[in-house]
Chains A and B, each alone.
Chain A
Amino acid sequence: MNFFFGINSSILNSKLTIPRFQNKNPTKKDYKVFQLGINNKRWKINYLDDVVLSGDFYQINSSVIDNGNIFCLATKDEVLQFAENNSPKLMNFNNYTDTTPDFRANLQVSIKGGGFSSYQSEYPFSMVTKRGSILSPLSSLCNKNADKNILFLKNIYELPVHDEFGVFFVNLKTKRVLKREVAVTNFMNEIIIEKDFIKPEVFMFTDKYIGVPVFCSIKGKHISLEHTHPPHAYIMGVDRFRVVSELKREFNEIIN
């Protein structure tokens, strides 16, 4: 299954659109949108009864989106089972959004009176159960000519905790940490990227938790939003996890 998320930022408006149909099949109307959040160190799930349904699309606007909340598609029975289980961990409710091609929601961010940009906003359950590190080049999606470049780093972790972890900006050529920021699990973290960091040799690296890095550039009234791929997406050979591990080990040595 996939979870979906939005962005709550003072700079941007955001709107999350989740289709209630799969990309190869007819609509199943019993799949509703639920919201999950952490309350008293437990996962709490709520039915979003005031969400707008336009055609076959659930539309969740800024007023409902919180950086600590996530959304999913499920039936009422599946959610009831989760509630009855009283599980301390997030559960894989269903495989409704496990499709090929990938299931797509749409997270659209916009500037008041200005442009808009979107990204698919899915967070696979397979990532929810994992800890580790993520690595992403900065200059692939940041823009030196933009007024502002922002990293939105979303983490969803199975346990209902808000643990801190490090986000490092590392120069691979000089083997130096340029800056360390702190991010939090089960949260949409907003980190401003300094222009000086936008160089081919500078990478973002996390130390304890993984996540989805979404980069946003703003210039005047124009905006661009897109995520980067994890390093193993670049390698299709059988040795891909070994090769990526070796590269991450190099970054680990630099930050330690």
Chain B
Amino acid sequence: MELSWRSKLESLLGASIVTERIPAGGADIEWLNDAGGQGGTIKSGSRVTMPDGTIRLIVSADGEKVEYVDLAPGDLSGREELLLEWLLSELARADNADGGPGRGPNREMRRLGEWIQEQISAGRIKAAVPEDLNAGGRLDSERIPFLLLADHATTANDAELEKLLQAYLESDVLLVPLREQEWLILASDALLRDEGGVEEMPEELLEGIARGMHDMLASEWLGENHIAVAHPIEPASAVVETVFLLRETVALGRRFHQGDMVHLPWNIHLERLLSSIPEEQRLRFIEQTASRSDLLLEPEIVTTLETFFAMNCNVSDTAKKLFIHRNTLLYRLDKLKQDTGLDVRLFRDAVLVKLLLLLYKVTKRKP
């Protein structure tokens, strides 16, 4: 589980970040501004020596609240304190770059992301979003959830990504940063409401939008990425559960379908089941099922079988798809039957071979 920078900071310092709401113009904030604001107002990285000698490092401050860490005098050397002050001011600058100065919503999304992380870490996947993180009620309406994982280290900020997504999805988009290089995207479900034209299944449309998003981000943003999409949800009540599902989908997709960059929860039921089987049992299944299952590792055979299954075991369609003669395909299938004892034209054997192909991707076999 990756921690947010706030959690990392708390863990390094052995102290908690305290959040205090301070009434605007109150005596406390005036005092802090006088003591640590260096002629202005306190900000991230400001250092205040409290009347009792405690060093108060300001993590963030806006007109309504202040986040700080209290350290006992002598906890850190002077140089460490300076380093920390600089670090906090840089982090604040990065935050501002993401959201733009005074951009409340993005900071809100960041907090929402941290909250989702905390719920998943604590195993509370059914948790509902608290009112103060509900983005002004925007999480109450149905939205399409996408999970985006960037493969390369990103240098672009969230604002740039948000703009791209808004242009692509042509609607209001909520971008929730989760872990490093990982975002939850909540798009309007209006995308699924088509004005006339050819009927399309929601799954097909969602997949199409996700694939388009992948290509768009690959070429217009920073390169390769993985995307998972689920059916529309009401984020206020289901966002944690959905992030959990989408993460699992990406993990299973990357494991079982290497090379595919778009992952769909409704396409990986079998993969989910297989990954829950202990390694030893998987190995036993492989050894017992086919007399020469190593043949199923040959690229030509794998491509032939995967296409055969994708074409619903139709010989003519498979041959057409593979650009080979029907007889060539039949020859390959006959040879496989001869060598492994499995005839994929029979439903029972087709199921076994499909399972073998999937298990090969996740099972360490004896050399």
- Do A and B belong to a common assembly? no
